[in-house]
Amino acid sequence: MKRILFLCLVLATLVSCNKEEFDGYDNPFVSIATETGASSITVLSNVNNINTYMVLVSSRPLETPLTVNYQITVGDGLEEGVDYELVTTGNSLVFEPGVYDMPVRIRWMSHPVDESKDNTLTITLTSNSKDFTLGLPGKSGYRKSLVIEKKN
């Protein structure tokens, strides 16, 4: 009985070795999030610091640079130079081969906000040079944008 069971196990192992291995999913994407992985965050109006938001690439190893473009949309309650300052300039990031995360940095300035206004700053990924999916794969587009709200 043990021999038959052993032979069945060996036969099953040999048969399964002939199957092609699964390489995983190959849907490269670019996403944006806080350093902790959140897609939205609150910044208090009484702080004066530089925050880092990460643009991340998930793909097989890159052989050529990847350019990722983004747009910053500011609500009517925030004013550049008063509430915040963009430390990362421009609207694109270049990922050289071997680089899979790049920062967008914003300096938040201590200044109270009018809570009846839109006090959000949104960073939205708009395009990239390799036609990678923007945000996590799927219909939701989760992590295509990062919403930062300044509150008193």
Per residue in 13-24, pLDDT (tens digit) is 655 555 555 555
Question: Following CA atoms 69, 125, 135, 62 in sequence, which dihedral angle do they give, to the nearest 10 degrees?
Answer: 10
Is there a contact between 118 and 77 (Cβ–Cβ < 8 Å)? yes
Is residue 10 very low, low, confident or very high in pLDDT (cuts 50, 70, 90)?
low
Q: pTM of the entire structure?
A: 0.83
The chain-wide mean pLDDT, for the chain, equals 90
Q: What is the pLDDT of residue 75?
A: 98
Q: How far apart are CA 66 and CA 125, in angstroms?
A: 13
Per residue in 32-83, pLDDT (tens digit) is 999 899 999 999 999 999 999 999 999 999 999 999 999 999 999 999 999 9
Q: How far apart are CA 142 and CA 127, in angstroms?
A: 15
pLDDT at 30 over 80: yes
Sheet holding 49-58, edge to edge: 84-86, 101-108, 49-58, 29-34, 133-134
Q: What is the pLDDT of residue 33?
A: 96
Strand, coil or helix: what is 120?
strand
